[in-house]
Amino acid sequence: MATTESATPTDFGLFTPDSVTWRIHADPSMLIGGIRALMIQALNPLAMAAVEQSTRFQMDPWGQLDRTVEYVLVTTFGDTASALAAGEKVQAVHRRVHGIDDVTGLEYRADDPELLLWVHCAEVDSFLTAYRQFGGNLTDADADRYVSEMVRAGE
pLDDT in tens, 128-152: 999 999 998 999 999 999 999 999 9
pLDDT at 36 over 60: yes
pLDDT in tens, 84-105: 999 999 999 999 999 999 999 9
What pLDDT does residue 7 have? 54
Cα–Cα separations (whole angstroms), residue 61 to 51, 58, 104 = 10, 6, 23
pLDDT in tens, 39-93: 999 999 999 999 888 767 778 888 888 988 999 999 999 999 999 999 999 999 9
Q: How many helices (H) and strands (E) does the chain have?
A: 8, 2
pLDDT at 2 over 80: no
pLDDT in tens, 21-31: 999 999 999 99
**Residues recorded for the chain:** 155
Rounded Cα distance between 12 and 129, Å, is: 25
Of the two residues 35 and 8, the one the predictor is more confident about is 35
Encoded amino acid at 42, one letter: A
pLDDT at 17 over 80: yes
Rounded Cα distance between 41 and 50, Å, is: 11
Q: What is the DSSP letter of 103?
A: T
Residue among 115, 90, 91 nearest 101 (CA) = 115
Encoded amino acid at 31, one letter: L
- Enumerate long-range contacts of 26-32, CB under 8 Å, 24 or more apart: 27/131, 27/135, 27/136, 28/135, 29/127, 29/130, 29/131, 29/133, 29/134, 29/135, 30/72, 30/127, 30/130, 30/131, 32/130, 32/133, 32/134
**pTM of the predicted model as reported, rounded to 2 decimal places:** 0.88
